[in-house]
Structure 1
Amino acid sequence: MALVVGAAIFLAVRPVLSSSRGLLAAALTLFVIGVALQYAGRLNLVDQGPWALRLDDPKYTRNALFFAFPFLTLGVLIAREQARLSRLRGKGIILALGLAGLGIEAAVATQMERNGNDMYLSLFVVSPLLFMLMRQAELRGHGKNLAHAATCIFLLHPLFQITLQAGGAGSVTVFLGSIILCLLAAPVVIRLNRWAPLL
């Protein structure tokens, strides 16, 4: 649902902020606000009461406005500016620095907060760079199967996460387990898709 609403927000904003810089500024601003609200809730920076509880709930920060719209906008901008971005040098170095920043941010957040973060500032650098590098990579296999596999992983991972969490698994086990289960389930769903339109 967040992706659908995020796309609707993008379509509403695009006529007003038609330039790439304007869209990037809007996406970055909203993402930073979402991250700030998340940390305000996690660190109890807001007085106790209904607002403090709401900020501590991921659905008030990791949603269409503060999460889906910014990353969807990044994807659109990458497609729009692909000729210019293809000439960008040092993507690997920037990605390495971004991943290091993500690791540090996650470690600090783990020590400081109550319930684990859903949004990290460094993701705004890491995610688009990974996307750009994967677009440039020559992946073997049929494009349709790769698209179906990605769709399976996107749609199935919440189911496996919920199942593993219900079984009492820790966060690392949930993360790794859901990835492995998605990779195992994807070929089965792709084969079933030949007889029934599952994807």
Structure 2
Amino acid sequence: MRADARSNRDQILAAAQVVFQEQGVEVSMKEIADRAGVGVGTLYRRFPDRGALITAAAHAYLSGLADLAATAIRDEEDPWSTLCRFLRECAEMRLGALAAAIEPTLHADIRSDPALTEVRGRIAEQVEDMTARARESGTLRAEVTARDIATLMTLQVFVFPGESYVETARRTMDIVLDGLRAR
């Protein structure tokens, strides 16, 4: 793929993820093209229909999530810091809003598409690893499971008008993480 074509594709996927978070997957393709700074024709050359765009956005979002987990695992010094960083970043990215928009539409595809199945499996392994290591270190409550952590990854945070989303998400995650910490 030419560099300009790849750039257009990346812009469209990034815009689609943001618009899906804000408005759901039924938003007009023109709205996504406008947000991406490309024409509708360019969008349709890259993604022939809404389903193809949603699937590609889901793959990009899941791949980004796997990269986020891998970075936290690689860069943090201890299991608790790894888990905290990962959950905070999920909240700050508004992962819950995107998952809520994409998952119902792609439920069957996410579980049957080999590319999506592979990346979902990688994320599940990473979350299981982070959870097990934090439990084994004695910093995570013993009864907290990887499924609990997966649920918290998609926590949606309400922000009152005029307040900072990032600050509200951080405060919320501080409270959540305090509840997860072993005493």
| TM value normalised by structure 2 | 0.30
| TM value normalised by structure 1 | 0.28
Q: Identify which of structures 1 and 2 has the higher relative contact order when contacts are C-alpha pairs closer than 8 Å and 6+ apart.
A: 2
